[in-house]
Each structure stands twice: as C-alpha cells, then as structure tokens.
Amino acid sequence: MRGRASSLFLTGTALFTMASAAAAQEATPPADAQSGQASAQDIVVTGTRIVRDGYTAPTPVTVASTEELVKATPSNIPDALNKLPQFQNSSSPSRSSMNFANTAAHGNVLNLRGVGPLRTLILFDGQRVAPTTYLGTVDVNVIPNLLIQRVDVVTGGASAAYGSDAVSGVVNFVLDKKFTGLTGVAQGSTSQRGDNQGYRFGIAGGFDFGGDRGHLLLSAETFKNNGMLRSDRKLGRGAYSYVGSTVGCTNPNAAADPTACSPGGSLNPYMIASGVTLSAASEYGKITSGPFTNYRFDANGALVPFSNGTATGSPGYFVGGDGYAISPDTQAVAPLHTYQAFGRASWDFTPDVTGYVQGSFSRSDLSYTSLANSLVPPTAATLYSGNPYLPAELQAAFTPTSQSITLARYGANSPRPHTTERTDYWMVNAGFEGTLADKWKWNVAFNHGDSNFSVAQEGVWDWQHFYAATDAVRNGSGQIVCRASLSADPTIAARYANCQPFNLLATGDAYASQPGYDYVVGTSRYRARIWQNAMSASIQGALFDLPAGPVDVALGAEYRRQSLRLTSNANPADLDTTAERSAYFAGLRGVPSSVYHYWLTNVGEASGDLSVKEVFGELAVPLLKDQPFAQELSLNAAGRYTDYSTSGSVETWKLGATWKPIRDLLLRGSVSRDIRAPNLFELFAGDQSAISLLVDPVSGITANVPQVTGGNPDLKPEKADTLTFGAVITPSFLPGLSLSVDYYRIKIKDAIGTLSLTQIVNNCSQSGGTAPECALVTRDTPTSFPSQIRVAPANIAFLETSGIDFDASYRTELAGGNLGLRLYASYLDTYQTQQSSTAPVLEYAGISTISSTPEGRPRWRGTLSVNYEVGRVGVFLNQQLIGKVKLGIPGGLENGLGQTIGAVGYTDMTLSYRLPVANGHVEFFGTVNNLSDKDPPLIPGTIPGVNIATNFALYDTVGRAFTGGIRFKF
C-alpha cells in the first residue's frame, strides 16, 4: 500500500508541477452563490490591512475552503487543518500525551511551521482570539465551525499587520457574514475496532430583517468523541523501549568520553526491547532499604526475593522480572466533548454606516485516565517497626539500628487518577464600519475574550494524608489507628482525628476498598481565568492616483489589555521553605523532601496583567501596469510601533513587492521583522512541580526526579526576521489551473526557551561542576541523585527554519461532471535550534525525535485531493504523504539510532449523494479515514510504556475509521 500511496502522490505532483516542480499558492476561494459568499471584489485577503480589487498580497496565503476540509476530515475543522503540511507537531486529543494533568496542552492547538503554537496567531474573522489556556495558547475547538466560510493560512511573518505572535504566520477562521438560509449536519463515527465512537450535530441559520437593513446569524453545534486507551492497540501493550545494548559496559577512557557507557553512548548503542520493566519498584511493593532489602511482596502478600529479570545496557531497565511496567490502560486519544453557540446581528444605519454585535460561547470538556499513583524513589514510603500491617517475619527482623523499611510500589492494577479539563470561553465583538466619500473605508471595534479553564484530577495521592495513614500503630485499646492522631500536640491530634489507617501491603480488591484508601487520595484542582479586552480603529483608502493605479494606505491604532488569574489547591510555593514544610507535615515522619501537596499534580498560582498600545500603517504603491514585461509592479510596506507595559517598546515592519511580467506569471517577495512578546504565564507563573525520569551521569542512577518550573518577569520579546519569495503561475492556455511555489526563511533570536532537565544535568556534568546550570541542580551530596532540578524560561534560544511551500489547483469539466484537484506540499530544508549561546546548534529537519513527547519534522509532506461530482453523486479522495524520517535525539546520545522510517501515506475517501429538496439540498455522505488501515511504524521512546510506541505527532494511531451522516442547506 505504501508504494501505491507514494505513486498516487507523485502522479499528482507531476500533473501539477510540470516543468516547475510544484508550488504554494495564494488561492481565491471559489464562489458559492448559495452560501452568500462575497464577490471577489469584496474579499479581504488575510495578511494585509489594505483591500482593493484584484490585489494580491506579497505574503503567501493558503486558502482552504470549509467544504473541502470537512470532506477530508468530518470530525471538525481543526483536525482537518492538521493534515495540511504547513502544520507540524500540533497538539490535539489524539496527538498529546495524557500522562499528566499539570499542563494545559491537551486541546486542539495549532502549530504553524512547527516553531511552537505561541508563535502562531489565531484570528476569528480578522479579530485576535484571546488565549484560552493559561499557557497563552488558543484551543481552536472554541471556534464555531458551521458558519466558517474558509480558513486563510498566512505562511509568512505578519506582525506588522496583526501584532505580536504572528511569527510563523496567521490562521484566520473567516466567517460567512452574508449567509442566508439554513444549514446543518448530523453524523456518527467509529473506528473499525469499535472505539473512538462519536457524533456531531449542528444547525445554523442566516436571516434578513428590518426590510433587509439587518442580518442575523445563529448557530449551535456539539461534537463528542469517546477516545481510546493505549491498551486498545498492539503498540500500546508491548512495553517497548529503546535501551542500551551493552550489559555491564566498561569505559576504558572515561576522561575523554565520559558518556561512552551511557545508553546511546559510543560503547552502549541503543536497541529496541519489548516487555521492559523498571527495577526501582514492583507491583505490590519492593523493599529498598532495611530488613529484607531487595525482597518484594507478591499478590498474596508473601515476601519473596526480587528478580530483576534480564539486564539491558540501561541502568534500572530489564526485560521481564519483577519490576514495574507503566500500565497501558491510559488514554491514547482523550475523550472530548465540545459545545458551541454563536450569534451575530448587523444593521445598516445608513447606506454608509453599518453596526454589528456578535458573541459566541463554547465549552470544551476533556477527560482522561493518567498514570497510576506510584511510590517510586525518591517518593517511596517508609514503614516503621510496630506497624500492625507488617508481616511477623519482617517485624521480627528489625534490630535496634534498623527500625524501618522503605517500600517502592507501583500500583499498575490499582485505580488510576482520572482528570477532567473544562474550558468555558466567551467572545464578544461589537463595532461600526462604513465608507467616506466612496473612497475610504473605516471601522472601530471592541473585542472581549474570557476563558475559564479548570482542571480536577481525582484519586491522586494526598501526601499529607498518605504519610499520616501509612504510619499506623495500635492504640491503648488495641485498635489500629494513625500514629499522628495520638500526638501529644492537641493541634496535630485534632488535624488527624479523622485519619483512616492505610494498609499499603494489601493486595487485590482489598487494596482500594479499605477505608484508608479513600482517605489517602484526593483531588488536585486548579483554575485559570484569562480575559482580554481590545479596542481598535482603522481607516484605509486611496491617497491619490498614479498612472498604474491608486496609492492605498491603511492607518490604525489598537489597545489591548490582558489579565491572568491562576489559583490552585496545590501551590508548591506554599511549601517552598523549611518552615512551611515543617508546619504542613508536622507530626508526620518519613516524608521525603521532594513531595508537595499531591502526587505529580501541583500547579503553582499565577497573577499578572499587561497592556499593549499600538499604532500601525501600511502603504501599497502601484508602480507599473499594462506595460511590456510589467503587467503589474507594486510595492507594499507596513510598520507597527508597540508598547508593552511589561517589556517596553518594539517596532515591527514589512516590505513586499509583486511583479507580473506577463499575464500568466506573478512574482512576489517580502521581508519582515516580527515579534512574539512573552505572555502572562511566562512572566508571572508561580512554581509548578512535576517529575521526569532522569538517567543521571553523576550517580549512575535512573529514577524519577522532582522538577520545578516558574516564570521570569525579566523576559523580553522574541525577534524574528522573515524572508519569503516565490511565483504564481496561472497559464492562460489551461484555464482552471493555478500553480505557485514560495520559499520561506524564519530566523528567531532572543527566543524564549528553557533547557530540558537532561540538558541541565548533562551541561553541569560535562563542565565539571562549573557551568551556570549547576545552580539549578540540588543534590544532598556531590555524588548523590538530584533531589530537585529547577528550570525557568529565558531569552537564550535561537531558531532558524526554511523551506518551500507548494500549492496547485485545477478545476475542469470531465465526462459530464466537475473535477477539482488540489495539492498542498511542503519541503523542509532546515530546522535548527540552539538552546543557549553555549549549547550546540542542532538540526531537526528530517528527524523523528525519540522522547516522551515525540516530535517529527519530515523534509517532505503533502496532501493531494481529488473531488469529482457528477449529477447527484460525489467522490472525494484525499491522499496524505508523510515523508521519510531518521530516528534521532539531536543534542543527545544517539548511537544505535539513525534508522530511516520510510514515507507513509494515508488515504481518506468520501462518497456523497445530494438530493434536491425545496430550494436547497440534503446530502448523505460516508467517509473512511485511513482507508488501508495502515499501522503506525514502531518507534518507542526511552521510557517504557509512557506513550503508544510510535510518533503520535506524525502518524495515525486509530486505524481505519468510519463517519456517516447527512448535511443540509436550504
């Protein structure tokens, strides 16, 4: 099938590119009389503030019609956009890791060019969409789908036109403001394996009122998908991992090559293993210190020797044995339920003045099962002599100098924490627009966005309760109670009066059914409110006429204010001093220094505001028209001055030109300075806690390490220099054919970045303890495993990426029907990053990165669609190609990697039948995604069982899936 997919793609490419090799096009959306779409003379092209008849912007714009997007992917518009090659490593419910609940990155977050979602500006009908998450990103599930006419993707810098964040470009969801009639959809879906079941229902209408002076738009829709577990697919059940292949590796030249024996080092190349377990803990508890060290408890509660299994070249990683494996019964695709409502009313007060008000509400609910509660060092539990749950043989083994044991237990078969995320989002726009003297267009607008994002993770260890309940003793009456409840301090005794003792050694159903279990688990909650108020005013029109046409200008001013309030019941800052920890855990013993309120999910609070004042201008100058070798020659310039209350002032600009030497060829180019200002969370975030698995080169230990991140109020805006140039070909000898090709290059300096936990530790180790990163690593002794690592954002990074975009379309009549072909393709020439001035420059182009959050950047990506309609029948085929990638860990140890994963193709097919009804139609349709049921390639990470063993950022993990339903329009 791979050969057929590639052949189909190459055939389409050859058809479109002919002698030029292919293209990327600023297309004009097809007219649709029934939808009330504006004529070509009224089209506002995203990427410029100036609109005039026939104007073609120098910055490339890809226009994707909603009709074609939903045919390829009927679930929703964001899912369809992520199949376009311009988007890379976007996150969505099927493209994210659901292991943790301490980050707001699980919605549909678009990532243009793969340079990060914070560098992609999202617009709704030309208005900036306020952030929906406290991270500053926009979950585009909040955009109402049914009344979206098209999506414009500006694939070049546009900060001069739209302000901050438009570094990689702009995604503008364009509203069909003139729609009149009634439209709707009802559909159901499922995968071939019976999971990922879902539905979508929606209805929208457009109505004139007030003698055609007013127009009203209304829509309501809902979408649901039940998701799937990792265990529902073979690649999620095998506990695959890359491990070192040299068992007992010895390094004869450690001074010259200290990492030679590390996994992936020169003497210990990586290999793939299945059934990998981690020896740090076991299912029912491994004793790691005290009597019976390296014994474990079995399913019957008996003490038996712990067997590591078959050793690998990765410390702590074994095949088989009694170690623990991360449970596969966690989410590979998170269940998602969205609700959307939208309304818009406009009124023509005079022939020259129109007012409007519009508002939308959306609710997005995500729910998922995440990693099981664990007691893995350094957060193992200490059980003391006298604990009535200890077996007699263990109690008898205590000595005057050994009065406790440390127990490491990973409860893969115990109840797992369940997380619910909800985003409630309001967006209100109001304004006036009109014309002056039939030459000038003006508008004033107010925009308000308000997001309430809440997370609740239930069933997670409450450490204060946990360490109180596991320290059980008998009282004077022989009853088993919590030791802290017997404290001589009345305050402590009262605090734990309701404590229920917890038998950590229980097995089977008895483990979770004991009263103590309900006492030791709780709910970690956090809530963020992000709101934005924005006001803008602009005017554009012709200053004067030149022989080649009018000189157009656009001028405007904007004011924007944002606010973030993040609250949490598990703020790490509440326990960041010795005094605070002593008060919180008073009366308890055996509490590790690394724990906070809850296991894993401890989100710090944040509070901050910023305001932005901006003025901008844009000028379009036609130099030549209808001259030999100059059918058109024009220049475009834009500038913006921005003043941030947090980081000062900054200027952005753009220069562009278009030249049409002959009627069939247009050449275009632009250079620009673009910015991304630090957002509120980057500036004002409180400490956030998490854990990550670390292979420590100092102690030689592989274990989870506590990680703390926070904000940096001294951050400055990132600066990007963007270059684009290309050509658009519309051959007159073949009407209906459009070809284009555009080169782009983006260089970002002073980029906001954070060194990874591994980079921090390795940089410190390789410097011999002298690097600045060493201040971020806390060790109890110089050679012990870290007890904490701190990371924070800074303006330290550099990023450069370049490539070529291709776009081609062709429409014609064929055998009594209408044939439409569309090709999107992209070639990635380079993607280089440098995390700091002392770090190496890393190349990611053509690489599938091996990590717990995999990313992939194939050099070639493309989508070819074929749409044929004859009579009432329609056939739509969509062929997606993901080019070959090489497996690697840029900047890390990667000996044994370097394998090439060949190109992968996915075919989607839609069959439809359109039945005329009254003044409209009803369309019955059926879609099959991943028609050939292609399995994703096996690409494990370096931690077994954390994710389904493939690069979910690149490849489909669901398999063949079906959607059927009806659409109507009257």
For 526-579, write each residue's pLDDT tens digit: 999 999 999 999 999 999 999 999 999 999 999 999 999 999 999 988 988 889
The domain limits of the chain are: 2-233+332-369+419-457+528-583+593-678+715-754+792-969
Please provide the DSSP assignment of 604-673 as one string: PPEEEEEEEEEEEEEEEEEEEEEETTEEEEEEEEEEEEEEETTTEEEEEEEEEEEEEEETTEEEEEEEEE
Average pLDDT over residues 741-766: 86
Neighbours of 835 (CB within 10 A): 21
pLDDT of residue 747: 96
Judged against a pLDDT cut of 60, whether residue 26 lies above it is answered with no
Distance CA 892, CA 756 (A): 11
Distance CA 853, CA 523 (A): 25
pLDDT confidence bin for 918, thresholds 50/70/90: confident
756: amino acid identity, one letter: S
For 485-515, write each residue's pLDDT tens digit: 999 999 999 999 999 999 999 998 899 999 9
Question: Contact 360/376 with Cβ under 8 angstroms?
Answer: no
Question: Contact 878/929 with Cβ under 8 angstroms?
Answer: no
pLDDT of residue 49: 66
Mean pLDDT of the chain: 89
Q: What is the pTM of this model?
A: 0.87
Judged against a pLDDT cut of 90, whether residue 754 lies above it is answered with no
Distances (CA, A) of 614 to 167, 170, 692: 17, 18, 41
pLDDT of residue 474: 97
Q: Which helix (H) or strand (E) holds 966?
A: strand 961-969
Distance CA 692, CA 853 (A): 12
pLDDT confidence bin for 412, thresholds 50/70/90: low
Distance CA 609, CA 956 (A): 40
Count Cβ neighbours within 10 Å for each residue of 38-76 and write b for 16 or more, e otherwise: beeeebebbbbbbbbeebbbbbbbbbbbbbbbbbbbbbb
Count Cβ neighbours within 10 Å for each residue of 511-540 and write b for 16 or more, e otherwise: beebebbebbbbbbbbbbbbbbbbebebeb
Please give the angle made by the CA atoms of 185, 187 and 191, to the nearest 5 degrees. Answer: 150
| Architecture field, domain 2-233+332-369+419-457+528-583+593-678+715-754+792-969 | Beta Barrel (2.40)
Judged against a pLDDT cut of 50, whether residue 338 lies above it is answered with yes
Please provide the DSSP assignment of 288-338 as one string: EESTTTTEEE-TTS-EEE----EE-SSTTEEESSSSB---S-SEEE--EEE
Mean pLDDT is lowest, of 368-377, 449-458, 591-600, 694-703, for: 694-703
Mean pLDDT is lowest, of 14-18, 428-432, 957-961, for: 14-18
The DSSP bridge pattern shows strands 169-175 and 702-709 to be unpaired
Question: Contact 154/60 with Cβ under 8 angstroms?
Answer: yes
* Both structure tokens of 314: 């990765």
pLDDT of residue 3: 42
Distance CA 82, CA 88 (A): 7
* Both structure tokens of 692: 């990550």
pLDDT of residue 771: 77
Average pLDDT over residues 646-663: 93
| Cis geometry, peptide bond prior to residue 78 (ω within 30 degrees of 0) | no
Task: Give every CB contact of residue 670 below 8 A, 6+ residues apart in sequence.
Answer: 58, 59, 156, 636, 654, 655, 656, 657, 722, 723, 724, 725
For 664-714, write each residue's pLDDT tens digit: 999 999 999 999 999 999 999 877 766 677 878 888 887 778 787 888 888
Distance CA 156, CA 674 (A): 10
Question: Contact 277/283 with Cβ under 8 angstroms?
Answer: no
Task: State percent of the chain over pLDDT 70.
Answer: 94
User: Judging by beta carbons within 10 Å of its beta carbon (0-12, 13-18, 19+), is residue 238 exposed, middle or buried?
Assistant: buried
For 933-952, write each residue's pLDDT tens digit: 999 999 999 988 888 999 99
Judged against a pLDDT cut of 60, whether residue 301 lies above it is answered with yes
Mean pLDDT is lowest, of 62-76, 688-702, 735-749, for: 688-702
Q: Which helix (H) or strand (E) holds 584?
A: helix 578-584
Distances (CA, A) of 498 to 470, 478, 516, 554: 14, 18, 10, 69
